[in-house]
A and B are shown apart, each in its own frame.
Chain A
């Protein structure tokens, strides 16, 4: 296939993707007004607050997974510290709202600016090393963040209890169960923006630079590129998108919990991305959705009578969602490289172009 044909096909793929995306977003935007059955995936019909909350939660997890995809999937950097940037968004906004009289929007802007600054500094330090060392360093920074949150310095973070959302400066329509649909639309807006940013970067020159650096850092350097800068840009964009997502998450959950700053939380993001297919934007969307639904609904499964009556050998593993998800993840890594996207490719008989997972450079 000539390169011209490839690029034509790419552009056509871009329009198709846009059309699909617009259709999905339009449908999702209408859901709070519709009475569709939950089909066991949701706790009730689509317009009920419980279902809207779960869907908003899923969308924010998709958004967060997409921000992680910028760093891991696109730039090929195995970060184990992404929860830190999400946490900056959640706790940053939570603290500003609680301690100051600044209204929501300016507060969010302040947190974003400070957050981008912090992301820059930590990214620059972490990128002194690459590969596995990079993974460990990002993990260590995130762990420091988690320790900070749990120690509750000056009563700012609320420690293990968590931090409740101070509502005095938050618009009324974001507060209360009856207003869940507005939070739902906020989450939808966030995921649309994050997806658009990620897609735009992937199609742009910068995105090609990032991908080229992932594939062959040496070659980029020889050609006069600066891998460090390219990687830092990817890291900061991914971190910033996580911060934005975190701020919406604070509003949705009406508070912050330290569990969302742990290393395990980053690992679950990694699981989502790998589940869907590393390096595949839509794969990440599907992976995060499937993961979150399973994670939420497997808890319900555990309390099901059929499970409760099983002998302990079966009951205990089956009532631990993370055990099932972890095992599923192992099986996918071992037997289905490329994740769910590869399954779709196989079904569509699209030849896999390159190895799904690359060694980080």
Chain B
């Protein structure tokens, strides 16, 4: 029983990380039709930024955390402004540019920090466990889950209650009509990239605490599962991304424990979803 609980909760924690990556991906794709391959690099860079700050000024993680978020936001906004915007409406080229950026940045990170994972020092209470129904769960898992829930709520409130949220929701549905109402939709583009960068930044710090290391490849490996999550959830659907994150991560965690091939099961799930429902669980139309 306690194993079951442990797997379930750590699965939710992993799902939280997936969601932090997938939410940005899904928003960006939904509004702009761009699959952002550089999203993993935003996460990696934020993780390293958080670690560097923590290493230099002590483990006051809040400062490191804020710096990491800021780095994620700025890098994402710059990416949109410098690389994506000049290729306005040329979606394949936009994807290619993010591919190039991801290759170049991962190589750069390897040059700066070395190719191997670096074990990080964490605040002691993050490694300590809290026992739930007999299962000792590391506190970092709860932090990840809590942060993902907060991000989800924050995004929903932002999308429902603000004018920019309204523009984004409308743009996801029909981008050109938004411009035909006199709205500069490109500002919303920068905004979703920034939001995605913030979520990835949070994800970066949490992931390094969840796994206990930072590595130039951590963003890329999370990104692949986030891709799977967004397809299963339905491209452009935030709620879909949330549901699919949990589904994928928990399934993965259980099969990894009992059988060892959780990653394969996830791909199998993807294949099944595509055969039965090509638009994804909560996707509106066939993508």
* Chain A residues at the B interface, C-beta cutoff of 8 Å: 78, 125-126, 128-133, 135-137, 139-141, 143-144, 147-148, 151, 263-264, 267-268, 270-271, 274, 316-317, 319-323, 325-327, 329-330, 333-334, 337, 357-360
Chain A: minimal CB distance from B107 (Å): 4
Instruction: Pick the contact of B111: A132, A274, A317, A359 (CB < 8 A).
Output: A317
A297 CB to nearest chain B CB (Å): 16
A85 to B29, CA, bound (A): 28
Residues in A with CB closer than 8 Å to B101 are 326, 330
- Identity of the chain A residue whose Cβ is nearest the Cβ of B263 in the assembled complex: A147
Interface residues of B (CB under 8 A from A): 29, 33, 35, 37, 83, 86-87, 90-93, 95-97, 99-108, 110-112, 220, 224, 227-228, 230-231, 235, 260-261, 263-264, 266-267, 270-271, 274-275, 278, 286-287
**What's the Cα separation between A106 and B95 when bound, in Å?**
41
Q: How far is the CA of A334 from the CA of B84 in the complex (A)?
A: 9
B2 to chain A, nearest CB (A): 27
Question: Are the C-beta atoms of B108 and A140 separated by less than 8 Å?
Answer: no
CB distance from B12 to the nearest CB of A (A): 22
Main secondary structure of the interface of B (DSSP, over half): helix
A325-B103 Cα distance, complex, nearest whole Å = 8
Residue of B nearest to A121 (CB): B271
Q: Of residues A125, A130, A140, which shows the largest number of chain B Cβ atoms within 10 Å of its Cβ?
A: A140
Chain A contact residues: helix, strand, loop or mixed:
helix
A320 to B101, CA, bound (A): 14
Min CB distance B32 to A, Å, is: 11
The residue in chain B whose Cβ has the minimal distance to the Cβ of A122 is B271
Pull 19 A–B residue pairs with CB atoms less than 8 Å apart, ordered by A. A128-B278, A129-B278, A132-B287, A133-B235, A136-B227, A136-B228, A140-B270, A143-B224, A143-B263, A268-B103, A271-B99, A319-B111, A320-B111, A323-B104, A326-B100, A326-B101, A329-B96, A330-B101, A357-B92
A151: B residues at CB distance < 8 A: 260-261
Indicate the member of A144, A316, A319, A357 with the most B CB atoms within 10 Å. A144
B271: nearest chain-A partner, CB-CB = A125
Inter-chain CB contacts under 8 Å: number:
139
Q: Determine if B267 and A132 form an interchain contact, defined as CB atoms under 8 angstroms apart.
A: no
How many angstroms between the C-alpha atoms of A327 and B100 in the bound complex? 7
From residue B189, how far is it (CB to closest CB) to chain A in Å?
17
Judge whether B103 and A329 touch: CB under 8 Å.
Answer: yes
Cβ contact within 8 Å between B35 and A128: no
CB pair A330–B100 under 8 Å, yes or no, is yes
Contact partners of B97 in chain A: CB under 8 A: 330, 333-334
Cα A337 to Cα B96 with chains together (Å): 11
Q: Which of B104, B235, B263 has the most CB of A within 10 A?
A: B104
